[in-house]
Amino acid sequence: MSVTGVAILLVALVGGADQGFEQPVTISMVAVQATKENRPAGEKSFGAGLEAFRSSLEKLPFDTFKKVKSDKASAAPNKEARFPITARYTLSLTPLSKDTEGRVRVKVWVEEKVERDGKKVVRKAVDTTAALVPGEHLLLGGPSMDEGRLVIFIAVEK
Amino acid sequence: MKKWQREIACRFDGEGDATPAVPNAEAAAYEAAIRQLREGAKHALRRPEIADAQFPSFMEGIRESIEAPRRHHRGFWAVLSLSTAALLVALSAFLVFSSGPDKAVTTQVEAATTEIPGATVEKYTNEDGTAVVWVSTAQRDLL
């Protein structure tokens, strides 16, 4: 085997950082309202449909969690998928690429409608880019929601 | 060669007639020349011998030849072989470490920002391995 041949093989193996990404991916999301209800120490309440997220939610400094919205949609590469959560918040997501380890790079942001100087404006409460392992969740949280905070779980389905 | 010269040569080698065919000064000179030639040939055939006085020098030469370091041939092919071996090792290591089942692939947050005035964003991985992006805002957001 010649040195040139080995070098070409190495370059081919290392060079394929981003594989072809043409098929749509399925995105699932669950939005949660997290509040403090002054429950006894150590006691936390999880609403229906949040069993799968319990281990992540109980680490947050809140004692009551209620599901607000759950949804699932197919998102094509470089096409924006939108998930309205409430009248105030909308989750938007755009798949960007797929890396050699199977992770899907996505741009995710949460739009928030607010009033400023008597006018309704939209701002990005959270704006992030992440590489998601299919089947694993990304947690976005912190924006205010009534008396609590908004928490969103996002996942690319396998 | 003349006939009388051939007869002298045969007689010199012990062959033929013992009496000289042409007993004169020319024949005697020819015979003397042959004798000198044969003596020189015998001398040339003598096998070389090492005298006792020469032996230390002879052994010294052998010792130097044995102890002298071998010449290293760093030619093109040697370098080529070494390079090929190194590339094969690198390729093997790359394949083993890039596709091994133990390699942990995790969700990774590359960047995170917010447009909420006064808010800060932190990204971390919590204890159960979930990637988290958290926006910390004041009690009442500044609009």
Give the pLDDT confidence score for residue B23 in this predicted structure: 63
Give the mean pLDDT of B17-41: 78
Report the pLDDT value the prediction gives residue B19, as an integer from 0 to 100: 61
pLDDT of amino acid B103: 59
Phi, psi of B63 (to 5 degrees): -60, -45
Provide, as residue numbers in chain A, all residues whose Cβ is less than 8 Å from the Cβ of B131. 130, 136-139
Residue B43 pLDDT exceeds 60: yes
> How do B131-136 and A137-145 pair as beta strands?
parallel
The pLDDT of residue A79: 95
- What local confidence, expressed as pLDDT, does residue B16 receive? 65
Q: How confident is the model at residue A96 (pLDDT cuts 50, 70, 90)?
A: very high
- H helices of chain B, where? 3-12, 25-44, 55-67, 76-98
Q: What pLDDT was estimated at residue B46?
A: 67
pLDDT at B140: 47
How sure is the predictor about A3, in pLDDT bands with cuts at 50, 70 and 90? Answer: low
Residue A26: how many other CB atoms lie within 10 Å: 14
Exposure on the CB side of residue A65, measured as CA atoms within 13 A: 26
d(CA A114, CA B5) in angstroms, rounded, equals 138
Confidence of residue B112 (pLDDT cuts 50, 70, 90): very high
Please give the average per-residue pLDDT across A109-118, as a whole number. 94
CB atoms B109 and A129 under 8 Å: yes
**Contact by Cβ (8 Å): A103, A111:** no
Segment holding A65, helix H or strand E = strand A64-75
Residues near A1 by beta carbon (within 8 Å), at least 6 away in sequence:
B84, B88
A residues 83..142 contacting B (CB < 8 A): 101-103, 105, 112, 114-116, 123-133, 136-142
Say if pTM beats, i.e. exceeds, 0.80: no
B105 CB neighbours in chain A (<8 A) are: 101-103, 133
Determine, for residues A13 and B94 on separate chains, whether the beta-carbon distance falls below 8 Å.
Answer: yes
User: What's the CA gap between A68 and A84, in Å, rounded?
Assistant: 11
Looking at the complex, report in whole angstroms how far the Cα of residue B89 sits from the nearest Cα belonging to chain A: 11
Among candidates A2, A9, A125 on the partner chain, residue whose Cβ is nearest the Cβ of B116: A125
On whether the CB atoms of residues B109 and A138 are closer than 8 A, the answer is yes
Contact A151, A140 (CB under 8 A): yes
- Asked if residue B101 has pLDDT above 60, the reply is no
C-alpha angle B112-A107-A60 in degrees, rounded to nearest 5 = 50
**Best interface-test mutation with A: which of B116, B120, B121, B125 has the largest number of A CBs within 10 A?**
B116
Name the residue among B112, B114, B138, B137 with its Cα closest to residue B123: B112
A residues 7-26 closer than 8 Å to B (CB): 7, 9-10, 13-14
Tell me the C-alpha distance between A3 and B76, whole Å: 13
Whether the CA torsion B29, B35, B39, B41 is positive or negative: it is positive
- B132–A10 CB contact, under 8 Å: no
